[in-house]
Structure formats: C-alpha cells, structure tokens
C-alpha cells in the first residue's frame, strides 16, 4: 500500500500521514480528472456500508488535492493521502454515516 505511516507532502503544501488502516475496497481512477474523480469516489463510497474504508488511486495533483477535501465536505472521513512515488496518490477514506 505504499509508504504506510510515513509523511507525504500534498500538492497544496499540506502534510498528511497515512494511518496503518487496511482498505476493504480499492478504486483505481488513474486517467480520470476532476470533477469525475470526486464523483466516482463518492459513488463508490455510497455503494459500501458506513465505516468501510476505501482506497482511491489518482494520478494527477489536482485530484490528490481536491478529492480529499470534497469527500470530507460530503461527510466522509479522510484518513490520509500518500504519494506512492510512481506518479500516483492513494487516498484513504472511510464512508460516513450519511
């Protein structure tokens, strides 16, 4: 899952720490751009049970920055964002109750 528990600098300058949480589901959105990355991630979260962790893979800096913010605004917990070192980012999010 990349560098679990390490620091990663996000495109906007924020630093996130990916927790040691195993994702139950994974959504590969490489090749997609915003707003489609957010929309597809949100739909995937809506299809799983509350509390389940989803790992979303994106390959552009705008999505790595915007998707976590949008998911948090939609009521989901963003557990971390990690640059995987191959031009992709892994976004760990837990589905909210809504």
Active site residues: 34
| Spatial CB neighbours of 50, under 8 Å, sequence gap ≥ 6 | 95, 96, 97
Question: Residue written as tokens 């990355």?
Answer: 37
Strand partners, 82: 90
Alpha helices in the chain (DSSP H): 36-46, 61-73
């Amino acid at each position: 899952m990349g560098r679990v528990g390490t620091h990663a600098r996000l495109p906007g300058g924020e630093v996130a720490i990916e927790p040691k949480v195993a994702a139950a589901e994974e959504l590969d959105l490489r090749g997609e751009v915003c707003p489609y990355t957010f929309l597809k991630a949100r739909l995937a979260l809506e299809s799983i049970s509350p509390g389940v962790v989803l790992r979303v893979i994106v390959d552009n800096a705008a999505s790595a920055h915007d998707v976590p913010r949008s998911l948090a605004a939609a009521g989901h917990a963003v557990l971390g964002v990690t640059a995987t070192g191959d031009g992709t980012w892994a976004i760990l999010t837990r589905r909210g109750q809504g």
